[in-house]
Structure 1
Amino acid sequence: MQTTLLNRARGAAFRASRPNGCNRSVVVVRATAEAVVERKERKLSPLERGGTLSGDQAAGKDAGGKARAMAVGASTPATILQIVDGRFRDDRWIGGRWDLNQFKNAQGEVDWDKVIDAEMARRKLLEDTPIPSINEEPVNFDTSEIPWWAWVKRFHLPEAEKLNGRAAMVGYILGLFVDQLTGAGLVDQQSSFLGKLALFACVLGVLLVRKSEDIEKFKGLLDEATFYDKQWNATWEGVKRPSEEQ
């Protein structure tokens, strides 16, 4: 009985704590008798430590700056796309421009897609949270520094590929429909004036209507084009016009 009470008293006298700066694999147990006992926890599983990857890649593809800093073992979290004290702060933003050395890939070349992503995120952040411009922190980065082929590869090629595939699919379906309706094959349709005109109309329609929102945009343009006519006609409601008096 006395042994049991003594063990309970000893257990109550001990208190577990985690000192500042201590990693998660070490737990320090302090007792009133100033005895310090270190006990290591179990080794983290692959899911808990980011899989089999290590370093910056262990944080994941879409991880934030804080998660990446913890993955590489940084003592302080990285500052990524933040507004601090009314100023834009990013560890990659040095001297009013993006430090391209921090955007290099494994081959040592600048990953322009990441630069474009960072610049788009910076402008979106400043659009949502406007801050005053000061001469002490000028913006020296210009998007013209990004090569033209990077813009083409990032935006124009995917759009061109999508529109080209869409035009081919729509044109084939329409050509098959005309073939079944009139008996004229695809070669005959492309050789005739009406066939070439229909092909041009198909390509033009695909270019004008790229997504469903474009239809509403054209409806808005039509309403805007006829707005003043409707307004003028509305002023004559219930009033006899001079042309009607004759």
Structure 2
Amino acid sequence: MTGTHGTHSTPVTLLHTAEALRARARDGRRAVVMTMGALHDGHASLIRAARRAAGPDGEVVVTVFVNPLQFGAGEDLDRYPRTLDADVKIAEQAGADAVFAPAVDEVYPGGEPQVRVSAGPMGTVLEGATRPGHFDGMLTVVAKLLHLTGPDVALFGQKDAQQLALIRRMVRDLDFPVEIVGVPTVREDDGLALSSRNRYLSPEERRTALALSRALFAGRDGLAAREALRARAASAPATRARADA
């Protein structure tokens, strides 16, 4: 089992403790991709982007951790898919050097942390309005994983736009010494954004879910068409004037 890392191939290393991660020799840039596991092609795209960011002499670390702090009451913490063996294979094939898969008590020794990161006003709108506390839990674990992995660059998908905006704001406001890079959304053939939770959808729910992306694409295409018409109209008088001259 080997992965392609620029000009060399090495098997991925599976780590479960922060001590083991700290013990790894570091050469070049470290790029980190944070996941909750159940990896798919969208995650693989992030890992390939991390490989490019780290360079052939750098290191790519993929974290796999289902964070209990960001699941609300009645959400799918207990049934969230956990597929570590498959995740390790996907991470390796995409170019990762290490997979860091800590247990809950490794990330939160002594139970849930009393001190947490607050998402502030940005965390109470849009998705945060219907999932109170979700973004506080997300930022808390991202902050902890940034400390534990110590990356030069961390990559996140643009699919979770509010999450990405909040992570950028946290890094700026709290002076984390890391570059945050957003990676474009990867979609299935029918246009649905890839997600580990897509497996929950019935055929009818999947058709309903497609309405959002189709509406967004239609709005984008309509705006582009109107801008093209305006640009053509604006250039028409100048074109006629040159012809008359």
Q: Same fold (TM over 0.5)?
A: no
Normalised to the residue count of structure 1, the TM-score between the two structures is 0.23
Normalised to the residue count of structure 2, the TM-score between the two structures is 0.23
Higher relative contact order (CA 8 A, sep 6+): 2
